[in-house]
Amino acid sequence: MKQTSVTTNAPCWTELGTSDPPAALAFYTELFGWQVDDTARPGDGDYTQMLAGGVPAAAITPRYAPQQPIAWTVCIAVADADATAVRVKESGGRILKDPTDVSDFGRFSVAADPSGAVLILWQPRAFQGAGVFNEPGSLGWVELLTRDPSGALAYYPKVFGWSVAPSEYYPQWGVEGQDFGGMLTMDDRFPPQVPPHWMPYFAVVDVDNTVSRAVALGGDVLMPVSGVPGRRRIAVLRDPQGAAFGVYTAGVEG
């Protein structure tokens, strides 16, 4: 990932909605070395912000409704949450939560693309988002998993102005050509009950070691360690409560 700071119309944050926040805290602090930040909580009581290297990296929260899936959600920094919400609707997406202020931290909205994949729109104020990218324990890449790749390729550039690096197998999203994510077409390897979704990848020093530790901590391997162009090693894991996330070698772009 070439992004090194919060950039408008690019990923700025990720948060986990889970059925068991204390268990998730134990898992991720052990896996990534995160620390709990009790001094800054954009949201209400149970919103727990995590630090990597002393700066904000991600958050862990309880689910806000029983039907909410246990999953990581990706946040996109926007200049104007209200205007972006209008573009979402004009482009065929849906607004699941209207733009709302979070104290003086920022303004947010929850949006779904035409296939149902959800993102949070974040208009930063006092809270910008992650303080580190592409360093061990931090957000390093985001991936859309969808059954409608052509629809996604039409939708996201309209809403966010993203550039697209074309590929038959793995198109990549960017802002002015600076890529921060990709798109994977969901085929018959994915059970039909798995909905389209966005998934974060976290940078780590050693992918193989991280996978071994995740399994020892009660997680599962959804995609074994593999190599991709640019000498990046990646894997996809599932935490003990069921949330999927990726890991990849820190400092490797491509």
DSSP letter at 161 equals -
pLDDT band at 54 (very low <50, low <70, confident <90, very high): very high
Residues 115, 145: one domain? no
Helix extents (H) in the chain: 21-32, 81-90, 149-160, 207-216
The answer to whether 114 touches 150, Cβ cutoff 8 Å, is no
Residue 134 lies in a domain: no
Q: How would you class 54 by CB atoms within 10 Å of its CB: exposed for 0-12, middle for 13-18, buried for 19 or more?
A: exposed
Domain containing 149 equals 139-249
Is residue 5 scored above 90 in pLDDT? no
The answer to whether 146 touches 196, Cβ cutoff 8 Å, is yes
Of 66, 98, 124, the domain-final residue: 124
pLDDT band at 203 (very low <50, low <70, confident <90, very high): very high
Count of domains forming the chain: 2
Residues 120, 154: one domain? no
**Model pTM above 0.85:** yes
The whole-number pLDDT of residue 176 equals 85
Burial 140-153 (b: 16+ CB within 10 A, else e): bbbbbbbbbeeebb
Residues 25, 83: one domain? yes
pLDDT band at 46 (very low <50, low <70, confident <90, very high): confident
Comparing 62-71, 145-154, 157-166, 214-223, which segment has the lowest mean pLDDT?
A: 62-71
Residues 150, 243: one domain? yes
15-43 pLDDT tens trace: 999 999 999 999 999 999 999 987 755 55
CATH of the domain at 85: 3.10.180.10
The SS3 assignment for 5 reads coil
205-222 pLDDT tens trace: 999 999 999 999 999 999
The whole-number pLDDT of residue 252 equals 63
Of 124, 158, 180, the domain-final residue: 124
The whole-number pLDDT of residue 177 equals 80
Residues 231, 143: one domain? yes
Residues 118, 161: one domain? no
CA–CA dist 133, 124 (Å, integer): 17
89-146 pLDDT tens trace: 999 999 999 999 999 999 999 999 999 999 999 999 999 999 999 999 999 999 999 9
Of 56, 90, 124, the domain-final residue: 124
The whole-number pLDDT of residue 4 equals 77
Residues 25, 86: one domain? yes
pLDDT, average across residues 76-90: 98
Comparing 26-30, 51-55, 174-178, which segment has the lowest mean pLDDT?
A: 174-178
